[in-house]
Chain A
């Protein structure tokens, strides 16, 4: 595609429910990142995929968070048993590789009520 696409753009969910966020990277981009951005704050690294290597999951805040990516295609970020503190914008980015600029999607705004 022309750019990184994320869906849904907005999600409101009840506390305790599971949510799945989707990211379609730019075609051919081997690197994919997920970040969380709370209101007025910086980007918090969550997870990094590079090709078929094992992902760097060091930023996932708890075992309620998980992410998958098949090859160099779509990635999904799953949050189980959502809590109010999970409310944030979740941003996905992709790049041609580790030394190339990352392009961001418009994010998914998650609100847990």
Chain B
């Protein structure tokens, strides 16, 4: 199987930094994706990691450790519009499998 674990829900304050963790099974691993999904909308791509380390893209960064089967998404300078679900997806054996997502609520 491809068990992907991430917290169900997180809360944070506008302007703060939040880290959303994701663990996955490493067999057949071929990349780790993060997507954002606002309520009632389709997921949109945020980041892709296939090598160990940190990938920075504006306010969002994503980290990967292949040996530990671990990734995180770091969101800086939180804005109200960042309130959404954040989905970790593991590409193993070619197919793309999603975790259940982390619902982030940003409050003023």
Contacts and interface: CB of A to CB of B under 8 A. Distances in A.
Interface of A: 33, 35, 41-43, 45, 48, 50, 56, 58-59, 91, 93, 98-99, 101-107
Contact of B98 (A35, A50, A56, A99): A35
A33 B35 CA distance: 15
Contacts, number: 51
A42 B96 contact: no
Interface of B: 30-31, 33, 41-45, 48, 50, 87, 89, 91, 93-101
Contacts of B33: 101-102
Contact of A105 (B30, B42, B94, B99): B42
Nearest to A45: B97
Given A42-B98, A42-B99, A101-B33, A107 B42 contact: yes
Contacts of B50: 99
A93 B98 CA distance: 13
Nearest to A55: B95
A33 B96 contact: yes
A107 B93 CA distance: 25
A45 B92 CA distance: 13
